[in-house]
Every structure is written in C-alpha cells, then in structure tokens.
Amino acid sequence: MNDRTPTATPLRFGLIVIGDEILSGKRQDKHLAKVIALLGARGLRLDWARYVGDDRAAITEVLRQAFAGRDVVFATGGIGATPDDHTRQAAAAALGVEAVLHLEAKALIEQRMRDLAAEQGVPFEPDRPDNVHRLNMGVFPRGARLIPNPYNRIPGFSCDGPGGATVHFVPGFPVMAWPMIEWVLDTHYHAHFGQSRQRERSVIVLGGIEATLTPLMERIEADYPGVKVFSLPSVDHPEYGRHIELGVKGEEAVAAAAYDAMLSALRTMPVRLGPELVR
C-alpha cells in the first residue's frame, strides 16, 4: 500500500543498514542517528535497527523477517549494480517474486545517462555495454513502487509484505538516502505525524544502586500505563562519579504525573538527588 490510514495502533518504524563497510569499520554508520532525527522531527520514533553485511542469503533472511511483520522499514545500501550489491535481488527472493526491469526506472536511468553524455560532450549510446549494465539499477521486485532520487535520478523502491509491512529501499549514500527518506515520510505518512511525541524527564541519583531502585521502577510502570521507566548507570562520570540517571518517558501529561510520583518516592529514600533533566 502507498499510504497508511491512521489507526488506534501507532506505526512502528525500523531501519536496516546494509554493507560490509559498516561492519568492518571502514565507514561509520550515519544513518541511525539521522533516521532517529528525521522521525523525531515529525513526532515519530524508531523502534528497532539491524545491521547486515553484503551477503545475499543474510540480507534475504533479514528482509523476509521485515516483510513478515507490520512495520514501516527503511533499508539503506546495496541497491547499486556492482557484484557486492545484493539488496534488490534479496528483496525479490524474500518476497518470492521475480525481479524485473521497472519501466519508469529504466526511463529515469536512461535520462541520467543522456545527461552524463551531454556533460562529457559525447553521444549517448544506449547499447554500449556499460550503459546496458546500468539498467540493472532499475531491476526491482515485481510490483515495486519508485522513490525519487533528487541527487542523480536513480530511484529507490518500496515493496509491501504479506503481513502489512512496507520496506523502503534507498542508497547507502547519505546525500541521496536522507532526502529520499524524508520524501517517503512526508508523502506517505504525514497523517501519522505526532503519534509518538513523547516527553522524557529524569533525575540524577547520586551513588544509586539499580537493585535498590528496581521496585520503584516497577511500581511506576504499573501505576502509569504507557510510561516507560529507564535507568542509565554510570561509574566514572567526570562530574557526578557513580550515579544513575533515573527517568520516565511517555505522552507528556502522563509522563509528568509519573515523574512527579517517582520524584516524591525518591525523596523518601536514602539517596542523594542531583540535577533534573527534561527532553
């Protein structure tokens, strides 16, 4: 499906980052932080992320699992036409459909080749082997829909899974991937913006021990459905030393009430409280 009709159940978003260069450390992944930011700016949140190398069988399995769910998933990388690009073929295998040349993608790729030929001052030769090979970048699972690429015209694509999931495939290059992800969000999921606007409030518990705080955390979550309690321990902070950042996150009104209850309980316990934080 192209668009998601709003329902009582908020959409879940996932991210799959594909590429040996990420797992080997040759390149640092920039997609995770950016996708979190792009979603957050629209009142949405990332629910999960996975990394997988340039192995077709492994990519196929990860995509098969994604298609079997109901989430909206962004997959970055591996949609080129070099021997280490397997994502397009893996997507077709995961869906159990044929990979075919998308005619609109073919036209966009050919236009890109015409533009390059014009820039170089040479005639466009569509039958030249390298130009024919470039058309492989438009071979997608049958039924795929295109994602426009404002950088160089070479499109990404979207496919739906049998369980209701939609996976959106974009290049690994941030200069292409990020505006393409923004286009997908703004075009297909605008009606869901704001579904996950959450407030996070926390306090520094100096010298705190998680085991001592666990009963309070469990009680707050039981008393305030929809609120998540978190604890972030640190043993060597340059200012606070050993401490725990204890907090809650959730819809603004209920999170505020839960935080007040948590803070009141902490003040009756033998702990020292430091700064409070609001995000």
- Tens-digit pLDDT profile for residues 84-132: 999 999 999 999 999 999 999 999 999 999 999 999 999 999 889 988 9
pLDDT confidence of residue 277: 87
- Amino acid (1-letter code) at residue 167: V
Strands of the chain (E only): list them: 13-18, 46-52, 72-76, 99-101, 139-141, 145-147, 156-160, 166-170, 199-206, 228-237, 241-250, 272-278
What is the model's pTM?
0.83
Total Cβ atoms within 10 A of residue 12 = 17
Q: Is the dihedral of CA 42, 166, 1, 143 positive or negative?
A: positive
- Tens-digit pLDDT profile for residues 259-275: 999 999 999 999 999 99
pLDDT confidence of residue 165: 97
Average the pLDDT over 215-230 and give the result: 95
Q: Has residue 3 got a pLDDT over 80?
A: no
Average the pLDDT over 189-215 and give the result: 88
- Integer Cα distance of 268 and 265 in angstroms: 5
- Tens-digit pLDDT profile for residues 51-88: 999 999 999 999 999 999 999 999 999 999 999 999 99
Question: Which 3-state string (H, E, C) describes 1-17?
Answer: CCCCCCCCCCCCEEEEE
Q: Has residue 1 got a pLDDT over 70?
A: no
The residue ranking higher by pLDDT, 62 or 1, is: 62
Q: Has residue 4 got a pLDDT over 70?
A: no
Set out the domains of the chain in order of their start, with CATH numbers. Answer: 13-192 (3.40.980.10), 199-278 (3.30.70.2860)
pLDDT band at 239 (very low <50, low <70, confident <90, very high): confident
- Integer Cα distance of 166 and 170 in angstroms: 13
